[in-house]
Amino acid sequence: MSSGGPLAKLMRVIPPGTHLVIGGTVVLGAASYIQIAAAGHALSSDPRAAVAELWSLAMTVSLGLFFPVEQELTRVVAARVVRGEGVAPVLRRAAVLTVGLLAVLCGALAVAARPVADQFFKGDLGLVWAFGATLVGMGLVYLSRGVLAGLGLFDSYGRSLAYDGALRIVLALGLLAAGVHEAIAYALVLAAAPLLATVFTLRPVVRGCHAGPPMAWSELFQNMTLLMGACVLAQGMANAPVLALALLAPSDSDLTNAVLSAAVLCRIPLFIFGSLQPTLMTGLSTAATAGDRSGFRRMLLRTCGVITVLGLLGGVPSVLFGSWLIHVFFKAPNVLHFLDFFWFAAGTMCYMLALILGQALMAMDRHRLQLLGWIVGTAALVGATFIPGAAATRVEFAYFAGSAVTAAVLLVSLWRVSGHWIATGEAVPRVGEPNPSATRATL
């Protein structure tokens, strides 16, 4: 008798306690849809477009810069726990790094507030400060999650994700029910939710940080620059259509709103994949570290099969009914056609493939090759953005082209590395225990 399908088999590699991580990721992903829908129904065209651009910028910058801090903090904390060493020095170093990054970003926003407001937020300076507050909230919540994951407190880690998502839902729907029609109110939801999630899970962070031996900065910075580069480029690619429209068609708020809504709709498979990704990365890391070449290959092929199924299940309905769906759920104007949704759906499938191929290279300690793939893909995205044609078609095709090129480059790199690995029997360096915070895909 069969023991279950591919999804059931993948679920069995989850370490104990990480089901809460998946549940929290589901809540956080659903919050993105509800928050965008609430703002879409409450705001007029220009404020709605400004909030859409703030959301895209926040996802790009916060996930690009602060999520790698979480990843490396998790790695270092987990290694210290295995050695029986206290992790308080690690938290202090990571806090200094996070505060330093926030100071640089907020200082740059203060200097360039007016140009940023005019280019992205329809001249609303309040949204610049809301953007800065969002970066602070997200920087702090990633810091706390890195400690929780490294300590193995997966229940608290999952609660942090769930609190963040639930607060976004409650606050956004509360504003809508109260009849609030100010863009800054919906923008500040992005700042308040992660800040409160940090406060609600602060106790286990503090309780788990005992005194320990000092640490060198190099212990924290191993691979962090490479991770930051890859994450910034990956998040920039995911949010490029909306951000590019701020440059190509700054006065067309209807188009910006429709493109964001279409992108979010077509990324439903990415949202589902994000809830499974900690499991997949754990399996790949475990197989690579153990030298299980056949297991690594089976896990990767099975994952690519799951991605293909998810892409088709989400992409076909999006292409066929996308215009109607975004109008009903997000109150988006009817300015897009089925081809617009096709490019987004095809791009999302390629993007998911690029993510998992990049994770496979990371599991084999080939961070530089992962970064190279995103660099080449980003160059393809930029080049495709400037081909002649309508603005919407250009940014949508550019998203597809960038994702496809990235996936292709990473596939070739992985094929060459795995061929060498299998032929030589080379061991994969152990750079840290597998953990549930390994590059989540977010909306």
Q: In the prediction, which pLDDT does 294 show?
A: 76
Please report whether residue 121 resides in a domain.
yes
Q: In the prediction, which pLDDT does 22 show?
A: 74
How many angstroms separate the CA atoms of 13 and 154, rounded? 15
280 vs 140: which has the higher pLDDT? 140
Please report whether residue 344 resides in a domain.
yes
CB 71 within 8 A of CB 228: no
Please report whether residue 336 resides in a domain.
yes
How many angstroms separate the CA atoms of 16 and 37, rounded? 35
Residues 216-240 as b/e (b if ≥16 CB within 10 A, e otherwise) read eeebbeebbebbbbbbbbbbbbbbb
285 vs 205: which has the higher pLDDT? 205
Angle between helix 338-363 and 367-385 (nearest 10):
160
How many angstroms separate the CA atoms of 147 and 178, rounded? 37
Q: Which residues fall within 8 angstroms of residue 276, CB to CB, at 6 or more apart?
A: 7, 10, 22, 306
Region 372-398: what's the mean pLDDT?
Answer: 92
Chain-centroid distance of CA 105 in Å reads 19
- Name which of 345, 326, 363 is nearest 270 in CA terms: 345
Residue 371 in this model has a pLDDT that exceeds 50: yes
- Name which of 382, 267, 217, 345 is nearest 32 in CA terms: 267
Please report whether residue 443 resides in a domain.
no
Task: Return the top range by mean pLDDT from 280-294, 310-324, 325-339.
Answer: 310-324
Q: Residue 378 — pLDDT band, cuts 50, 70, 90?
A: very high
Q: In the prediction, which pLDDT does 442 show?
A: 47
- Name which of 143, 118, 142 is nearest 128 in CA terms: 118
pLDDT in tens, 21-37: 777 878 888 888 888 88
Q: Residue 372 — pLDDT band, cuts 50, 70, 90?
A: very high
Number of folded domains in the chain?
1
Please report whether residue 431 resides in a domain.
no
Dihedral over Cα of 195, 197, 200, 202: its sign? negative
Q: Residue 401 — pLDDT band, cuts 50, 70, 90?
A: very high
Please report whether residue 288 resides in a domain.
yes
Q: In the prediction, which pLDDT does 60 show?
A: 84
Region 180-189: what's the mean pLDDT?
Answer: 91
Q: Residue 335 — pLDDT band, cuts 50, 70, 90?
A: confident
Please report whether residue 412 resides in a domain.
yes
Please report whether residue 49 resides in a domain.
yes
pLDDT in tens, 108-166: 999 999 999 988 888 889 999 999 999 999 999 999 988 888 887 888 888 999 999 99
- Name which of 293, 395, 304, 312 is nearest 358 in CA terms: 304
Domain span including residue 324: 6-424
133 vs 57: which has the higher pLDDT? 133
